[in-house]
């Protein structure tokens, strides 16, 4: 096998995270509103169909310079109520167009952002009460929320608990004070510890930390200290993401220079330090970027074959419909994607005028559906059985990775080896036929390592 350093140099190329296929830069054939509504209706028509709901809350009081999410930065909380009104109007219009929505089981609900706890307790209730009262709730649903510990109150978490929330994801990124200064996110360890412990006392049974490696001025020593502090709080899940440096998309990332960023082998070492520390502490590696304790539902889903991946990331359940509400939110009926307007004022205006706010979407063809299923299998189980018509082509494309012992073949079944797990995104590109046919003229993805 090649040296670790040469593998990093070889495979540290732009690659998608594959929360969808086709990936967003390769979407085409936008659905009309009528086609989109028809796709929803067809998907959930069968009795027993299920849905997941994603609510995007874009607001943050300050801008974190590493962030690649769709956000609206303001300390003026008067924006809350108009946004809540727009989101509920969008939801109401879906119910009118597809009454079956209210009769199908809601298995998952996720609040993301931005910072969902930017909203007051009153406005959190104003969103959740009408939405949940109009739906049929599954027996054991998974309700989760992303929180910024700097902007979260235990009274908010107590309210959410009463609505059935049991899982919480804390934005942490790094505990080093200099790294925090450079990414404009000053967040003392004690603050993160307080929210973690407070959530557990309230009954939240799954706590996730989001950490990032590759941030400016991170070193092997600083990442080790961050992970030691993380392990002291023993979150049930850890998302350990590679920093996605895309300043041509997110201008705030120009607040520090590329000279501040660890690269290549140096960056890879940060990941290896973290991975080894997590595994030694009893965490199990799951798919891309994730680790979980052996009694957490995410790991159990990976063992029993029910692990799923969608625009919300890894999840323990598969649903027939993912319905996204709010600015920039993405919905998925399996054979059709639909994304809302990404600019807040445009989203609100279009919801007010038209009831929907389509920015772009994609209707999947037969090849897309086949490749989507294969990439999903590879990213959730580590293997995929290829059909005859693409086997030779994919095998040839991945021949170098086979030589490097990152993958292996058993007949026509592609399997990622233990050494290949960190290169999962690279392996998936072998199944990404749209990417392979039309290499982008400019960078559109972050580096894979």
Q: What is the pLDDT of residues 388-438, one digit of tens each?
A: 999 999 999 999 999 999 999 999 999 999 989 888 999 999 999 999 998
Lowest mean pLDDT among 158-162, 257-261, 294-298: 257-261
Same domain, 2 and 39: no
68 is in an annotated binding site: yes
Percent of all residues in the chain with a pLDDT value above 90, rounded to a whole number: 83
d(CA 428, CA 288): 11
DSSP 8-state symbol, 252: G
Mean pLDDT of 369-374: 98
User: Is residue 64 a known part of a binding site?
Assistant: yes
260 lies in the same domain as 359: yes
Q: Could you give the number of structural domains in the chain?
A: 2
Q: What's the pLDDT at 8?
A: 62
**Is pLDDT of 13 > 90?**
no
Does residue 411 have a cis bond before it (omega within 30 degrees)?
no
Q: What b/e sequence results for 55-90 when a residue is b if at least 16 CB atoms lie within 10 Å of its CB, and e otherwise? A: bbbbbbeeebbbbbbbbbeeeeeebbeebbebbbbb
Instruction: Tell whether residue 66 is among the known ligand binding residues.
Output: yes
CA distance 221 to 436: 39
Please check whether residues 300 and 228 belong to one and the same domain: yes
pLDDT computed for residue 267 by the predictor: 87
**440, pLDDT greater than 50:** no
For residue 4, pLDDT over 80 is answered with no
Among the candidates 363, 392, 407, a domain finishes at 363
- When pLDDT is cut at 50, 70 and 90, the band that residue 443 belongs to is very low
Q: What is the Cα–Cα distance from 63 to 252, expressed in whole angstroms?
A: 8
Check whether 155 has a pLDDT greater than 90. Answer: yes
173 is in an annotated binding site: yes
Q: What is the pLDDT of residue 12?
A: 67
- Residue 69 assigned to a binding site: no
- On the question of pLDDT at 384 being above 80, the answer is yes
Q: What is the pLDDT at residue 257?
A: 73
With a cut of 60, say whether residue 180 has pLDDT above it.
yes
What CATH number is given to the structural domain containing 205? 3.80.30.20
In the predicted structure, residue 442 carries a pLDDT above the cut 50 = no
Q: What is the CATH number of the domain that holds 5?
A: 1.10.10.920
Phi, psi of 175 (to 5 degrees): -100, -5
Residue 185 has pLDDT above 60, yes or no: yes
Give pLDDT, residue 58: 97
* pLDDT-derived band at 444, boundaries 50, 70, 90: very low
326-344: average pLDDT: 97
Q: Are residues 370 and 316 in the same domain?
A: no
Which of residues 363, 398, 430 is at a domain's end? 363
Q: Is 210 labelled a binding residue?
A: yes
Kindly report, residue by residue over 86-95, the tens digit of the pLDDT.
999 999 999 9
| Residue-level pLDDT at 1 | 40
Range of the domain at 256: 22-363
pLDDT at residue 60 in the model: 96
Q: Is there a single domain that holds both residue 213 and residue 110? A: yes
Same domain, 26 and 16: no
* CB-count burial class (<10 Å; 0-12, 13-18, 19+) for 294: exposed
Residues 68-119 pLDDT 10s:
889 999 999 999 999 999 999 999 999 999 999 999 999 999 999 999 999 9
Residues with Cβ within 8 Å of 124's Cβ and at least 6 positions away in sequence, in order, are 116, 117, 156, 159, 160
Q: Looking at the structure, do residues 397 and 412 belong to the same domain, yes or no?
A: yes
| Mean pLDDT score of the chain | 92
Span of 8-17, 40-49, 216-225, 293-302 with lowest mean pLDDT? 8-17
The answer on whether 185 is annotated among ligand-binding residues is yes
Given a cut of 70, whether residue 248 has pLDDT beyond it is no
Higher pLDDT, 267 or 91: 91
Q: Is 414 within 8 Å of 424 (Cβ atoms)?
A: no
Where is the domain boundary, 335, 363, 391?
363
Q: pLDDT-based confidence at 446, cuts 50/70/90? A: very low
Q: So what's the pLDDT on residue 266? A: 87
Give yes or no: residues 245 and 388 share one domain.
Answer: no
Same-domain status, 10 and 116: no
Q: Are residues 161 and 303 in the same domain?
A: yes
Ligand-binding site membership of 348 (annotated): no
- Rounded to an integer, the average pLDDT of 49-59 is 97
Q: Let me know whether 336 and 428 are in one domain.
A: no
pLDDT higher than threshold 50 for residue 57 = yes
Quote the pLDDT of residue 441: 41
Residue 54 in marked binding region: yes
Least confident of 121-125, 230-234, 247-251, 304-308: 247-251
Average of per-residue pLDDT across 211-216: 95
Together in a domain, 83 and 224: yes
């Amino acid at each position: 096998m090649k040296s670790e350093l040469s593998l990093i140099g070889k495979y540290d190329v732009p690659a998608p995270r594959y929360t969808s296929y086709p990936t967003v830069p390769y979407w085409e054939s936008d659905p009309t509103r009528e086609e989109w509504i028809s796709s929803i209706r067809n998907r959930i028509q069968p009795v027993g169909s299920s849905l997941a709901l994603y609510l995007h809350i874009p607001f943050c009081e300050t801008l974190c310079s590493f962030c690649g999410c769709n956000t609206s930065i303001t300390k003026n909380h008067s924006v809350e109520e108009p946004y809540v009104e727009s989101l509920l109007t969008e939801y109401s219009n879906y119910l009118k167009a597809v009454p079956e929505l209210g009769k199908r089981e809601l298995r998952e609900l996720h609040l993301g952002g931005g910072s969902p706890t930017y909203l007051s307790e009153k406005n959190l209730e104003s969103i959740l009460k009408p939405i949940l009262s109009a739906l049929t709730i599954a027996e054991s649903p998974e309700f989760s929320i992303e929180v910024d510990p700097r902007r979260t109150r235990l009274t908010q978490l107590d309210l959410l608990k009463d609505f059935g929330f049991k899982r919480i994801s804390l934005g942490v990124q790094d505990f080093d004070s200099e790294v925090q200064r450079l990414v404009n996110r000053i967040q003392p360890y004690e603050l993160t510890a307080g929210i973690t412990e407070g959530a557990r006392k309230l009954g939240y049974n799954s706590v996730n930390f989001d950490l990032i490696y590759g941030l400016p001025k991170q070193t092997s020593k600083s990442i080790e200290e961050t992970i030691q502090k993380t392990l002291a709080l023993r979150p049930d899940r850890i998302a350990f993401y590679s920093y996605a440096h895309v300043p041509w998309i997110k201008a705030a990332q120009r607040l520090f220079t590329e000279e501040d960023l660890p690269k290549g082998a140096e960056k890879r070492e940060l990941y290896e330090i973290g991975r080894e520390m997590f595994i030694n502490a009893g965490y199990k590696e799951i798919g891309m970027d994730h680790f979980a304790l052996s009694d957490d539902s995410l790991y159990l889903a990976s063992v029993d074959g029910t692990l799923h991946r969608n625009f919300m990331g890894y999840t323990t359940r598969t649903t027939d419909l993912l319905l996204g509400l709010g600015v920039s939110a993405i919905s998925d009926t399996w054979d059709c994607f639909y994304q809302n307007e990404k600019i807040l004022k445009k989203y609100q205006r279009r919801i007010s005028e038209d009831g929907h706010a389509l920015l772009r979407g994609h209707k999947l063809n037969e090849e897309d559906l086949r490749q989507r299923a294969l990439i999903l299998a590879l990213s959730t189980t580590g293997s995929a059985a290829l059909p005859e018509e693409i086997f030779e082509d994919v095998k040839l494309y991945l021949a170098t990775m086979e030589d490097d012992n990152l993958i292996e073949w058993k007949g026509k079944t592609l399997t990622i080896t233990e050494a290949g797990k960190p290169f999962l995104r690279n392996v998936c590109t072998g199944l990404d036929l749209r990417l392979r046919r039309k290499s982008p003229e400019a960078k559109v993805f972050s580096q894979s390592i």
